[in-house]
Amino acid sequence: MIRAVCVLCFVGGIAGMIVASLADNNIEAVLSAGVITAMAALVLLAVSTVTTTRRTAEFDEADAEILEHGIRRVVDSGADESAVRDLVRRAITLGRRTAE
């Protein structure tokens, strides 16, 4: 909803600047439209920053069980369990560094 209002302010502000500058060269009207457009940009920036969706770091039992089952299958097929678990730890560490 806020983003739609900001888009309307952008469009209206740009149109207002063009019309006011062409109509009678009224600098106050052009500045007012420019300030409204700039304020809409700041609001849009603030809203986008606050509402960014970030994945929470909660522990999910189902995902852990699926991962453990996958490790067990690889180990049962003949891989060294400590090597597989070390590889999983390193992959998790890499994923955490990449996500930040």
What is the structure's pLDDT at 18? 87
Digit-by-digit pLDDT tens for the chain (100 residues) are 888 888 888 888 888 888 888 887 778 888 888 998 999 889 988 888 887 666 555 667 888 888 899 999 999 999 999 999 999 999 888 888 876 5
Q: What is the pLDDT of residue 9?
A: 87
Question: Roughly how many angstroms between the first and final C-alpha of the chain, as a whole number?
Answer: 29
pLDDT at 55: 59
Q: What is the pTM of this model?
A: 0.48
Contact yes or no for 84/74 (Cβ under 8 A): yes
99: CB partners within 8 A, 6+ apart: 55
Q: Determine the Cα angle at 26 with ends 25 and 31, to 5°.
A: 115
